[in-house]
Amino acid sequence: MRSHNPTLRDSVFRQSRAVASDAQVMTIDGTMGKLAILLLLMTGAAAFTWNRVGLEGTTLAAVQPWMIGGGLVGFILSLVISFKPNLAPVLSPAFAICEGLLLGAISALYATLYQGIVMQAVLLTIGITFVMLTLYRFRVIRVTQKLRAIVFGAFLAMFAVYMLTFVLGLFGIGMPYLHDASPVGIGISVVFVVICAFMLLLDFDLIERGARQGAPKMMEWYGAFALLVTLIWLYMELLRLLSKLRRS
C-alpha cells in the first residue's frame, strides 16, 4: 500500500500501529475533525494576511514578506512532520497557520488582478473534494494498485515540471506554456487539477487503511495534515487555471 503523497507513507501507519492501544486508535471521523481544526486555523491566518495586505495596498512588494515567510516556515514544518509524524499534533497547527499566511497573501494578489477569482477557486476546491469523496465513498472509482501507480507517476511528472521551472527561473529562463494562457498552457493546468483531484482519492484510501490497521490516535493529526497539503495544492492549481481562463 503506497501513496503518491510523501506525507502519507504506509510505513508510518505500520510503525505507529505497534504502540497504539485498543482504546486510542485512529478513526476517520477523528481525522476529519482534526482537518476541520486545521482548516479553521489556516482560514484565520489567511484572513489576517488578506486584511493586512489590503491595508498596505496589494502589490507584489506588499505580499512578498508573507509569501516568503509563511511559505518557507511551512515548507520546513512539512518536512519535519513528514519524517517525524509523532510531532504532527504539535506542528500541524503551526503548519496550517503558516500556509494560511501564504495563501492569504497570494489570494489577495489574485483578487486584485481578477475580481471574484478567489471565491471561485474556493468553491471549486470544495466542490471537487466533495465529488471525489462521494466517488470514493460509494466505490465508483476504486483505488487499485494500478491507479496508485498511475497517479504516483503523474505526481512525479508534475513535481519534476515545477522543480525544473524553479531551477530555470534562477537563471532567468521561463518554462514554455506553463504560465501562459494559450490552449496548451490551459490544458497543462487542467491536467494538474485532475492529478490533484485523484491525489485526494489516494489520501482518502490511505487514511481509511490507517484507521482499519489501528494506527494510534495521534496519527489523526498526521492524516489531517496530509489531506490539508493536497487541498492547498488543489486550490493553488485552480487559481492558476482560473487566471489563465480570464486571460485567454
In tens, the pLDDT along 57-77 reads: 566 677 788 888 999 999 999
HEC states along the chain? CCCCCCCCCHHHHHHHHCCCCCCCECCHHHHHHHHHHHHHHHHHHHHHHHHHHHHHCCCHHHHHHHHHHHHHHHHHHHHHHHHCHHHHHHHHHHHHHHHHHHHHHHHHHHHHHCCCHHHHHHHHHHHHHHHHHHHHHCCCCCCCHHHHHHHHHHHHHHHHHHHHHHHHHHCCCCCCCCCCCCHHHHHHHHHHHHHHHHHHHHHHHHHHHHHHHCCECCHHHHHHHHHHHHHHHHHHHHHHHHHHHHHC
Answer whether residue 9 shows pLDDT above 70.
no
Residue pLDDT, tens place only, 147-158 = 999 998 998 899
C-alpha cell at 198: 485523484
Predicted confidence at residue 22, as pLDDT, reads: 54
- One-letter identity of residue 57: G
Q: What is the CA radius of gyration of the chain?
A: 18
Separation of alpha carbons 169 and 111, rounded Å = 25
Range with the largest mean pLDDT of 2-6, 34-38, 49-53: 34-38
CA distances to 58, 188, 209 from 107, in Å: 10, 21, 34
d(CA 221, CA 219) in angstroms, rounded, equals 5
Neighbours of 234 (CB within 10 A): 23
Closest CA to 175 of 167, 238, 183: 167
Query: Whole-model pTM above 0.75?
Result: yes
Judge contact between 47 and 111, C-beta under 8 A.
no
Of 14-18, 109-113, 129-133, highest mean pLDDT: 129-133
Q: Where in the chain are the domains?
A: 10-247
